[in-house]
């Protein structure tokens, strides 16, 4: 995180979504590696039941197809449902990795 990027984030608060944060990081000309490192440290978890494609695409390693799958199986009610449905496409290690970036709201 550069001082200019940190200042830009502070000045633009509050954010409606992580997509707005990403726009500022890109505007500050952070490299892809710098942005990924920022998300590893400060990622705001995404609600699986309301997250947008753009938000899901910000999860490191998630592409268009996985973003579509995350939206397709809504409503998400349990982590076992998540493991079963998303696990059809990727292994348990990957579903566990994705879980650190998302949440299922309480019913």
Local structure of 45: helix, strand or coil: coil
pLDDT of residue 60 exceeding 90, the answer is no
pLDDT of residue 107 exceeding 80, the answer is no
pLDDT value, residue 79 = 97
pLDDT value, residue 70 = 97
Tell me if the pTM is above 0.75: no
Q: How far is CA 47 from CA 23, 26, 100, in A?
A: 20, 23, 12
14-36 pLDDT, tens digit per residue, is 888 888 888 888 988 888 888 88
Measured distance CA(106)–CA(100) in Å, rounded: 17
68-82 pLDDT, tens digit per residue, is 999 999 999 999 999
pLDDT value, residue 1 = 72
Measured distance CA(47)–CA(41) in Å, rounded: 18
Q: Which of 44, 52, 58, 54 is nearest to 15 (CA)?
A: 44
The band of 83, judged by pLDDT with boundaries at 50, 70 and 90, is very high
1-12 pLDDT, tens digit per residue, is 778 888 888 998
């Amino acid at each position: 995180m550069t001082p200019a990027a940190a200042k830009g984030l502070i000045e633009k608060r509050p954010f409606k979504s992580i997509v707005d944060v990403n726009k500022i990081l890109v505007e500050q000309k952070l490299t892809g590696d710098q942005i990924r490192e920022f998300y590893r440290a400060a990622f705001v978890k995404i609600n699986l039941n309301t997250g947008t494609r753009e938000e899901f695409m910000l999860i490191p390693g998630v592409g268009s197809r996985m973003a579509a799958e995350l939206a397709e199986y809504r409503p998400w009610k349990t982590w076992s449902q998540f493991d079963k449905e998303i696990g059809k496409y990727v292994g348990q290690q990957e579903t566990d990795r994705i879980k650190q970036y998302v949440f299922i709201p309480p019913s």
